[in-house]
């Protein structure tokens, strides 16, 4: 992130606190309006801040009532100047409300669409076991969603978001398929993991044999995976393959992530579904650092600290739903 962008985001955070503390003051409103219109980066930074605060709407009720440090209690305006304040509030309030509303809609729309499409959906930090009509089971990861499409000839599950571990009941007459974006995994009977994390789709096999087809390439590509095999597809890189001990497949069900020479950015993508808010990384060099270790996903803040501290990084909690990871 460029220095100007970092400064704009930092200023937006300061303005959010200041407007909550003395947003009725004419000087404050005028200064904020001048800052907001001074640079397009300021508008983008303010919209990002609004989106972050809108995320509180998805947090538990006790977090939505969280008070920022140093926040003043609401004050009744004095009689003198009360009507003037009421008239003058509209201009800046319209600017702030428009940005906040746009951010809230942008944030809420994907979630609404997901709820309408999904048959099962989980909250951040929660894992659910789903038993399907044919006796197969799905362990649905945190902040994840699936849609089920069964009929007399086929068994299809669409992974709409997140990650899921499948234990499939064998039925040669009805192959079992998992569709995750452009990637389709077909099996007869097996145990395997499908994940859409950080813009990539991965499949790893604990037991049995699966066929993975990527329709995002032209022509589409197919690969067969056996127990211990994994494949990762997505981004601008070619598909990556490798092997893992079969018993380690789906380690996220135990709340663990095993990293072997992985970037901090990719590990943060693993942690996000376990955290009920937003995680922002401000240092690109830190994000690209390689890490090896086993981390507890059920303690996301502590895991983040353990990951970045060896490189001099730190994790700052701005609110219960916002973490800043910096170098």
End-to-end CA distance of the chain: 12
CATH architecture of 123-249: Sandwich (2.60)
**CA distance linking residue 180 with residue 138, whole number of Å:** 14
pTM over 0.75: no
Which of residues 45 and 224 earns the better pLDDT score? Answer: 224
Which of residues 182 and 81 earns the better pLDDT score? Answer: 182
pLDDT for 294 beyond 50 = yes
pLDDT for 264 beyond 70 = yes
- Mean pLDDT of all residues in 74-90: 44
Q: What are the φ/ψ torsions at residue 17 (nearest 5 degrees)? A: -65, -45
Kindly state the greatest CA–CA separation across the chain: 81
Structure tokens of 130?
């789903």
Residues 48/82, Cβ–Cβ less than 8 Å: no
118-135 pLDDT per residue, tens: 899 998 899 999 999 999
| Distance (Å) of CA 128 to CA 165, 257, 299 | 11, 18, 18
- Mean pLDDT of all residues in 194-209: 92
Residues 66/320, Cβ–Cβ less than 8 Å: yes
- HSE value, Cβ hemisphere, 13 Å, CA-based, for 116: 6
Q: What are the φ/ψ torsions at residue 58 (nearest 5 degrees)? A: -100, 0
Domains 123-249 and 255-327 share a fold: no
- Could you say which DSSP state residue 100 is in? H
100-112 pLDDT per residue, tens: 444 444 444 455 5
CATH 3.55.50.30, domain 255-327, yes or no:
yes
Structure tokens of 124?
């951040």
**Residue ranges per structural domain of the chain:** 3-117, 123-249, 255-327
């Amino acid at each position: 992130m460029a220095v100007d962008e970092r400064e704009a985001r930092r200023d937006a955070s300061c303005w959010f606190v200041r407007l909550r503390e003395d947003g009725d003051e004419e000087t404050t409103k005028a200064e904020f309006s001048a800052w907001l219109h001074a640079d397009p980066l300021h508008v983008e930074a303010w919209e990002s801040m609004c989106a972050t605060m809108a995320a509180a709407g998805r947090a538990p009720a006790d977090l939505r009532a969280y008070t920022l440090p140093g926040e003043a209690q609401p004050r009744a305006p004095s009689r003198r100047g009360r009507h003037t304040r009421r008239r003058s509030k509209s201009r800046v309030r319209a600017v702030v409300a428009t940005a906040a509303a746009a951010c809230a809609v942008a944030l809420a729309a994907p979630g609404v669409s997901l709820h309408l499409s999904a048959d099962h959906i989980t909250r951040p930090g929660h894992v659910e076991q789903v038993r399907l009509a044919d006796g197969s089971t799905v362990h649905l990861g945190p902040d994840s969603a699936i849609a089920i499409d069964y009929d007399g000839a086929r068994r299809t599950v669409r992974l709409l978001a997140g990650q899921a571990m499948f234990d499939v009941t064998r039925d040669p007459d009805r192959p079992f398929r998992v569709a995750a974006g452009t990637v389709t995994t077909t099996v007869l009977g097996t145990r395997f993991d499908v994940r859409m994390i950080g813009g990539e789709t991965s499949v790893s096999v604990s037991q049995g044999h699966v066929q993975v087809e990527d329709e995002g390439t032209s022509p589409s590509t197919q690969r067969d995976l056996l127990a211990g095999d994994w494949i990762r597809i997505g981004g601008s890189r070619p598909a990556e393959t490798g092997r893992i001990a079969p018993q380690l497949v789906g380690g996220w069900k135990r709340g663990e992530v095993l990293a072997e020479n992985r970037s901090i950015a990719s590990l943060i993508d693993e942690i996000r579904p376990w955290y009920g808010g937003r995680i922002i990384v401000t240092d690109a060099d830190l994000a690209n650092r390689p890490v090896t270790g086993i981390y507890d996903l059920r303690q996301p803040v502590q895991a983040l600290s353990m990951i970045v501290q060896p490189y001099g990084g730190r994790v700052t909690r701005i609110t219960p739903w916002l973490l800043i990871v910096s170098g």
